[in-house]
Amino acid sequence: MKPIGLIIRRELAAYLRSPLGWVVAAVLLLIDGLAFNVFAVGSDTARKSSEVISQFFFFSGGLAEAAGLFLAMRLIAEERQTGTINLLFSSPIRDYQIVLGKFFAALIFLIGIHVLSVYMPLMVLLHGKVAKGHLLAGYLGVILMGSTGLAIGMFASALTRSQLVAIVVGAAISVALLLSWLLAPVTDRPFDQFFSWLALWNKHFPSFMRGSISLQDLAYYVSMTYVFLFATTRVLESRRWSS
């Protein structure tokens, strides 16, 4: 576990030193705040507090997915671009440790950004009530969406040395997963159920948004994160042997 901890500290320091981390944090919080004021609070003052909170998580989930892609695009592509990937390959660190260290560093940074947004739903307390369970479930769903975005972004970053190409590939995969539910009504069994289950948002996120935690939905995001991290590890292994 020590090599993973070293990589986590290295990557967290890189986020804090480079403009990328601060730009992603600033843009996420800005858009989140604007969406909260315009769509959650400002659209209808007569709505219930739970509806306002659900609307807040509606936007936060999508923003966490996008932020995950942008935070992950540099994690491996930059190493290949600068040539430092060879130093990692020559060090006594296994490929899965590299992947996990970079992933957890980005996830910690992403969680830190969302901690700064907690004041937004708490503003509902000025005119209403906020259930702690709703907040916990909602933020859990947001972090799960973000972790899936990070895993997809890391996989895309491992495929290329260009960060621009990495964000395009990651976005394409995410959009395909987001829109897979549209294929469910036009396909026959059992593919309709498969495409419905595969949907990144439509099938699995609304329960968190409403304040409930489903083990099935929790397992989906954990599984998707694992699959893409596993695929990233395999890509790194192939790069190691071909380099």
Residue 167 CA to residue 66 CA, distance in Å, equals 10
pLDDT in tens, 48-58: 778 888 888 99
- With cut-offs at 50, 70 and 90, classify the pLDDT of residue 41: low
Tell me the CA distances in angstroms from 51 to 13, 39, 67, 73, one per residue in order: 38, 11, 24, 34
First to last CA, the chain: 26
DSSP state of 128: S
Asked if 92 contacts 171 with a C-beta cutoff of 8 angstroms, the reply is no
pTM for this structure?
Answer: 0.91
Q: pLDDT tens digit string along 134-182?
A: 999 999 999 999 999 999 999 999 998 899 999 999 999 999 998 887 7
- For residue 50, what pLDDT is reported? 80
What number is the average pLDDT over the span 18-43? 84
